[in-house]
Amino acid sequence: MLTNVAVLAFDGVAPFELGVLCEAFGLDRRDHGVPRLEFAVCAPDREPIRTTMGFSIQVEADLGRVAEADLVAVPAIPRGGLPPESVITAIRDAYERGARILSVCSGAFTLGAAGLLDGRECTTHWMYTDQLQQRFPLARVVPEVLYVDAGQVVTSAGTAAGLDACLHIWRQEYGAGVASMIARRAVVPPHRDGGQAQYIARAVPECDSDTLGPLLAWITENLADDHAIETLARRAHMSPRTFARRFRDETGTTPHQWVTRQRVAAAEELLERSDQSVEWIATEVGFGNAATLRHHFTRVRGVSPQAYRRQFAC
């Protein structure tokens, strides 16, 4: 269970991405039912740390604090130079003792320097994925996605995707309800799947019909309805072929995969917050029957609905 987080900071840290990690893990939200974590920003020494924005910060905790952490996080840093050797050592030691490691944006380059990307799927901001692959040829860089959860190592793309990855970790550790509350406090969507695209692959042409935004909102409010591609295409006033292409451009996935993920997310909330049967939940979220829900839920989340409820039920 996640209880202790350490964030690494050194010269060249990006303050916005550092702030994302502080927002995600450092705030006390116990008044909203969110567990409080032990949290610290850690630096190689007690000298002021220069940020990319022309100001410096003073960090009280040193790298010894990293040895206590269940999760060690690295914000965006300069991609050119090497991180301090003491930082690399702290990351390696944390990994070897089983701590989870998270990077935001170009923080992936620090993980690469520590050897944690070799043979592992990973990502970074879409502007830097080619550079990451060239610099660490043994890494399996996945371009364009929001984040990659490779088990012990989680890498994310740009700023907003870093928050998505943090919420993903909260969801894994404490369930959808806690992750949704943190998202609500931060005024961001509670869940964006890691496989979504970082950006729209090409411009979506203007047209007189509704954009996909209202359609996606309607789907999430009517998950039990028929969402076959032909049905959705008619609602969007497009041919099925045009709709499928445009949907992938805007979301990075297929309509079927997107709807399935939304149904699984809705099932999570109901498993946590209600005592309704799995059969009832399956019908409510649009899977139709318990067997179909179990199939998709287990494939997406890695556990059965019953096991998920045992772990996260309120």
pLDDT in tens, the chain (314 residues): 999 999 999 999 999 999 999 999 999 999 999 999 999 999 999 899 999 999 999 999 999 999 999 999 999 987 777 789 999 999 999 999 999 999 999 999 999 999 999 999 999 999 999 999 999 999 999 987 889 999 999 999 988 899 999 999 999 999 988 998 998 888 776 656 655 545 433 333 333 334 688 899 899 999 999 999 999 999 999 999 999 999 988 887 899 999 999 999 899 989 998 999 999 999 999 999 999 999 999 998 888 999 999 888 86
Residues 303 and 172: their CA atoms lie apart, in Å, by 11
CA distance 138 to 134: 9
Distance separating alpha carbons of residues 196 and 199, to the nearest angstrom: 9
With a CB cutoff of 8 Å and minimum separation 6, the contacts of 155 are 102, 103, 107, 108, 111, 117, 122, 123, 124, 147, 148, 165
Q: Would you list the domain boundaries of the chain?
A: 4-186, 200-314
Give the number of other CB atoms < 10 A from CB of residue 221: 8
The domain 200-314 is classified under which CATH number: 1.10.10.10, 1.25.40.340, 1.10.10.60, 3.10.150.10? 1.10.10.60
Name the nearest CA neighbour of 68 among 44, 27, 46, 37.
37
Asked if the domains at 4-186 and 200-314 fall in one CATH topology, the answer is no
Q: How far is 254 from 260, CA to CA, in rounded Å?
A: 10
In CATH, 4-186 is 3.40.50.880: yes
pTM, two decimal places: 0.75
Q: Would strands 153-156 and 147-149 be described as parallel, antiparallel, or unpaired? A: antiparallel
Distance separating the N- and C-terminal Cα atoms of the chain: 16
DSSP letters along the chain, please? ---EEEEE--TTB-HHHHHHHHHHHTS--GGGTPPPPEEEEEESSSSPEEBTTS-EE---EEGGGGGG-SEEEE----SSSPPPHHHHHHHHHHHHTT-EEEE-GGGHHHHHHTT-SBTSEE---TTTHHHHHHH-TTBEE--SBSEEE-SSEEEE-SHHHHHHHHHHHHHHHH-HHHHHHHHHHHTS-S---TTSBSS-SSPPPP-SS--HHHHHHHHHH-TTS---HHHHHHHTTS-HHHHHHHHHHHHSS-HHHHHHHHHHHHHHHHHHH----HHHHHHHHT--SHHHHHHHHHHHHSS-HHHHHHHH--
